[in-house]
Amino acid sequence: MKKIFILSAIACSSLLLPPLCIAQNKYVDSLKADLKVSRADTSTVIDYWLLSNYYFNKNSDSTLFYDNEAREAALKTKNDRYISGTLYHLGDFYANNVNFEKGLELYFEALKVWERMHDTDNMAYAWGRIGSIYDDLEDLDLAIYYEKKANTIDRKYIVKNPDWVIEMDNGIGYEYTLLNMPDSALPYFEESYNLINKQHKGFDTSEYTLTLWGLGKVNYQLGNFSIAMPYYKKSIECAGNNIVDDRFLDLAFSGMGELLKAMGNKDSAVAYYLKALKIERDPKFKLTDYRNLAELYQNSDEHLAFDYLMNEVKLRDSLYKANNKREVKNITLNEQERQNTIAEKQKQDSEQRKENIQYALIALGLILAIILFLLLSRSIIANERIIKLLGVLSLLIVFEFLNLVLHPFLQRITNNTPLLMLLALVSIAAILVPLHHRIEKWATTRLVEKNKQIRLASAKKTIEKLEHKKPET
């Protein structure tokens, strides 16, 4: 599968690296010297991250060492933001080194922390990366499941940063093509294509290569060869023009080879497959190319066909022998069970919240009914203190009602940050209290006026009775 190189905002500390014109050795030495000072703060975590990023493509042992040191430093800070970031960073290391079991384990651990923080953005990063691992493990259903979860979050930023949606669309579309479900893949590649064309400039050309390949692949699977051909050509052209990042050029070559093979042009198909094999970075792409080359040479050169078939078998063994699929399956089942528990708890919380809202509405309705009865009754003289007491109770119930209704929304927009939640609730109270005072003043004035009218009516009746008795006397 295409690798989804998404790092969380925390893990992107490599952006803090100085320009390449600065001597890197001096920079690394300064970081190491800085770390000799004994301290347990977030700057220590960042220093270890920077060193890990520096060694990422140079020395895997050093990368792992500094990643582990960053994790230990983060644990000392007791800061969830940095703890989750180090877990995710370590997961990247193991996933990129084909230790999918350990990578998944660390991603799921980071996911737990982000769930506790209600940090949906970083949860989306993790879901996207988890989806890419399941794709590598050929569990396409789970890959699509997690990438769709990420895509749901990414769509919140579709205007601000459409690249995230484009990347997830391409990933999901790719997996549907592997499942030979072109009708399901087409909407994702079409959306990706439309989003890229709306940007006009600044889009990721490597992703555009994949989008064009996807539209070619979908039309190939639908039997529309004449439509697939220009998309494959554009895909090859797009990747070839990008001298900085020609990712997916190998996939574009393979797609063209597959199309030419289906059209009966065997020589050209072989030429494109061989071009793909020369530049391929993802071993999984080679599996398909070896298989197709073996089929192309089956009738013309059996010896060569056998060699390509054996290459496929050896590569498949090397890819999946090292992965303990049973352990991966156990991790997956445990995570699915945990997600089911979370979903059940969310459902119960939602139902409980609905019940509480109903109770609050019933209580508010009763109090308002009593207040209205006391205000409108023409025979009962009510005390102002009763109205004030009922007004305070109604204010508290209204506040609790709004808290119940708005709480999920406030959690989402504040990432459950206590200070922001408090400020939001104080803002609500700042609106309600003056409104309550105005209503209470109106109700009190109305009550006083009503009581006067009742007393006046009572006095008139008394006078009339007295006047009626005087003649008799």
> pLDDT digit string (tens) for 438-471?
776 666 666 666 666 666 666 677 777 777 665 5
Taking 90 as the threshold, does the pLDDT of residue 232 lie above it? yes
How far apart CA 117 and CA 79 sit, in angstroms, is 11
Q: pTM of the prediction? A: 0.64
Instruction: Let me know: does 215 contact 179? Beta carbons within 8 Å.
Output: no
As a whole number, mean pLDDT of residues 49-55 equals 80
- What pLDDT is stored for residue 451 in this prediction? 63
- 380-437, pLDDT tens digit by residue? 555 666 666 766 777 677 767 777 677 777 766 666 667 777 777 777 777 777 776 7
Which range, 144-148, 197-201, 324-328, 402-406, has the best average confidence (pLDDT)? 144-148
Query: Which of 334, 337, 326, 333 has its CA nearest to residue 100?
Result: 326
Average pLDDT rounded to a whole number, residues 57-82: 83
Residue partners of 88: CB distance under 8 A and separation at least 6: 7, 8, 10, 11, 106, 107, 110, 122, 125, 126, 129
The structure tokens 């014109």 sit at 21
Amino acid 200: pLDDT: 55
pLDDT(228) > 80: yes
pLDDT value, residue 17: 33
Report the chain's terminal Cα–Cα distance, integer Å. 112
Query: In this predicted structure, what is the pLDDT of residue 420?
Result: 74
What are the pLDDT digits (tens) for 147-177?
A: 998 888 888 777 667 888 888 999 999 999 9
Tell me the CA distances in angstroms from 450 to 392, 456, 462, one per residue in order: 21, 10, 18
Assigned CATH topology for domain 1-115: 1.25.40
Range with the poorest average pLDDT among 26-40, 44-58, 274-288: 26-40
* Mean pLDDT of all residues in 171-194: 94
Residues 228-261: b if buried by 16+ CB within 10 A, e if exposed: bbebbebbbebbeebeeebbbbbbbbbbbbbbbb
CA distance 135 to 275: 24
Radius of gyration of the chain (CA): 34
Three-state SS for 21?
coil
Instruction: Give Cα 327 distance to the centre of its chain.
Output: 26
In the chain, the largest separation of any two C-alpha atoms, in whole Å, equals 140
Q: What is the mean pLDDT of residues 287-315?
A: 86
Task: Name the token pair of 288.
Answer: 């398909």
Which segments of the chain belong to CATH 1.25.40? Answer: 1-115
pLDDT at 454: 67
The C-alpha atoms of residue 139 and residue 147 are separated, in whole angstroms, by: 12
Per DSSP, the residues of 25-51 read HHHHHHHHHHHTS---SHHHHHHHHHH
Examine the pLDDT at 21 and tell me if it is beyond 60.
Answer: no
